[in-house]
Amino acid sequence: MHLAGRTAKWLNMPHQATVTDKRIVIHAEPGTDLWQNTYYNFTKNTGHGLVAEADEECSFTVKATREGSSLYDQCGILVYLDEKNWAKVCMEYEDETTQKLGSVVTSGGYSDWAWADIPGENRVMYYRVSRLKDSFLFEASRGGKEYEQMRIFHLRCKNAAVRIGVFACCPTGDGMKAVFEGAAFTPPAWKPYKGE
């Protein structure tokens, strides 16, 4: 199995998926989600992810299309160390008028969530994550050209393989189709901070 030319592996392999060099289709199964503890007092490690080991300095970009409209349907980029340490960026469906464009960072078994409301009809988003050792940057773009910063965060990566790729979840519905195109690892688009 490959993702953007790299050997990849599944996190919770779905019953139905298609993976080619240009296109990945994941049929997310009902009841799938990724969350750890905070506020909701549950842990969910059932989301489907296809991830590959990432360089210490790199960017990963993908176009994600969500073909589902059940509450909390989501797909995007996943950064994964283990079930208690990971991060995701995605759109999360709410209803016909509203959805959340946001990110979750999970550290030591506790998730946090940051988001902004966006129109409910949008089904396509371009995402980019950049890694500079233990620091990460999530960005999003509606057209795939101009990216807007969403979040800078830290994961404790020492002595742990960092895997990056795509994911899809269907927490409440009967299933959801997610399509990913143009997945690519590149040198980091995010440049190191040089100071004042």
pLDDT in tens, 62-90: 999 999 889 999 999 999 999 999 999 99
pLDDT category at 92 given cuts 50, 70, 90 is very high
Predicted confidence at residue 181, as pLDDT, reads 98
Please tell me the distance from the alpha carbon of residue 174 to that of residue 60, in angstroms, as a whole number: 30
For the full predicted model, state whether its pTM sits above 0.85: yes
Predicted confidence at residue 69, as pLDDT, reads 86
pLDDT category at 195 given cuts 50, 70, 90 is confident
Predicted confidence at residue 160, as pLDDT, reads 81
User: Which residue, among 52, 28, 47, 50, has the nearest Cα to 36 in the 3D structure?
Assistant: 47
Residues 1-57: tens digit of each pLDDT: 899 999 999 999 999 999 999 999 999 999 999 999 999 999 999 999 999 999 999
Beta bridge partner(s), residue 166: 50, 77
Strands (E), 29-175: 34-36, 43-45, 48-53, 57-67, 74-82, 85-93, 98-107, 110-119, 124-132, 135-141, 148-154, 163-169
Structure tokens at 94: 């709410």
Residues 97-127: tens digit of each pLDDT: 999 999 999 999 999 999 999 998 899 999 9
Based on its alpha-carbon atoms, the radius of gyration of the chain, rounded to whole angstroms, reads 15
Q: Decide the pairing of beta strands 135-141 and 124-132.
A: antiparallel
CATH number for 2-186 (one of 2.60.120.200, 2.40.10.170, 2.40.37.10, 3.40.50.300): it is: 2.60.120.200
Helix (H, G, I), strand (E, B) or coil at 109: coil
Please tell me the distance from the alpha carbon of residue 172 to that of residue 34, in angstroms, as a whole number: 13
Instruction: Enumerate the domain spans of the chain.
Output: 2-186
Please tell me the distance from the alpha carbon of residue 97 to that of residue 189, in angstroms, as a whole number: 33
Structure tokens at 180: 């990913």
User: Residue 159: is its pLDDT beyond 80?
Assistant: no
